[in-house]
Structure 1
Amino acid sequence: MTEENQTPVPAPAAAAKPRSARRRAREFAVQGVYQWQLTGDGVNAIERYLKESNPAFGRADENLFRAIFYGVLKDPEALKTALVPHIDRPFEEVSPVEAAVLFAAAFEIAHMPETPYPVIVNEAIELAKTFGGTDGHRFVNGVLDKLAAQLRPVELEAVRAKRRH
């Protein structure tokens, strides 16, 4: 990536408590997907840029970062196809920040069953609050709840049953 085409990646707002390595991994994955959307740069160039431009990258769970970031960019069209039925507007009208959060969380919901979907949705909401617009987190929550209901119906029902008792 050259100096001329480096797109500034949104920086997270100051956090009240220290972020876990997994939260940092998700933050960097979202930043990478955001950068990819805006620049079209390759995954290796984006990963290198993220590592070199932010000393906090070393405190992220690199395996989780790579799983999400590379997973999203392996087949973003499949993720977009899964998300579109749950979005109330053309996908092109979704802000790049919210789209990046949705891509990352959709990948986790679809391909990382070891992570409970409520954790994924909560993390996505927090990322949308950190990076996105004022009410972006509500939009992200609604879309991901619908996606989780479609892709993880058994888990969703178990969570709902647990809440009833």
Structure 2
Amino acid sequence: MHTRPEGIDLAARSRARRRALQALYAWQLSGSHMNAVIEQFRHEQDMEVADLDYFEDLLRGVEMHVDALDAALRPYLDREVAEVDPIERAALRLAAYELKYRLDVPYRVVINEAIEVTKRFGADHGHSYVNGVLDKLAAQLRSAEKKA
């Protein structure tokens, strides 16, 4: 697990999450290898304003743990993971990765960021769905933190 590093640029992390959502969306739809998606985003996106290390950690973490993340999400979904809107699915997987493996990021930040990226890129009420699922997942994965 990661510990909170000093001097994190929170705005750069938010931008990294937005770029990671877009990259994960592309990965889900294209079936391309994650390395190819990361390289494409490095060249096409304005990555110098994002936290590139965090961007890559999110994407490689989701790719490595996608089956475990989907299994963690499944009890809180009202349909199969594959049937969830691709933007919402990408947001849920990114947030599930952060909740499970990035304990340096407070669960409230994870949920809020997922809601914001879903509002920006997803369907009209997608953020409400994402919020409901992640609130339940956070209660399971971060129960001590939620009680504090």
Same fold (TM > 0.5): yes
Out of 20, 34, 44, the residue aligned to residue 53 of structure 1 is: 44
Output aligned runs, 1:10-49, within 5 Å: 20-49=11-40
Between 1:149-158 and 1:88-97, the stretch displaced more is 88-97
Q: How many angstroms does 1:43 deviate by?
A: 1.2
- Cα RMSD, aligned residues only: 1.1
1 CA distance for matches of 2:37 and 2:97?
18
Aligned with 2:32: secondary structure?
A: coil
Between 1 and 2, higher relative CO (CA 8 Å, sep ≥ 6) is seen in 2
Aligned with 2:92: secondary structure?
A: helix
Could you report, residue by residue, the CA deviation over 1:25-68 in whole angstroms, capped at 9, with x for unpaired residues? Answer: 001111111111101111111011111112x2111001111111
Q: How many angstroms does 1:75 deviate by?
A: 2.0
**Contiguous gaps of at least 5 residues in structure 2:** 1-9
Could you report, residue by residue, the CA deviation over 1:105-144 in whole angstroms, capped at 9, with x for unpaired residues? Answer: 0000000111100000000000000110000000000000
Match status 1:134 vs 2:124: yes
Output aligned runs, 1:1-165, within 5 Å: 20-54=11-45, 56-158=46-148
2 CA distance for matches of 1:75 and 1:113?
15
So what's the TM-score if we normalise by structure 1? 0.82
* Structure with max Cα Rg: 1
| Off by >3 Å, runs of 4+ in structure 1 | none
So what's the TM-score if we normalise by structure 2? 0.91
**Counterpart residue number, 2:5:** none
What is the count of residue pairs matched by the alignment?
Answer: 139
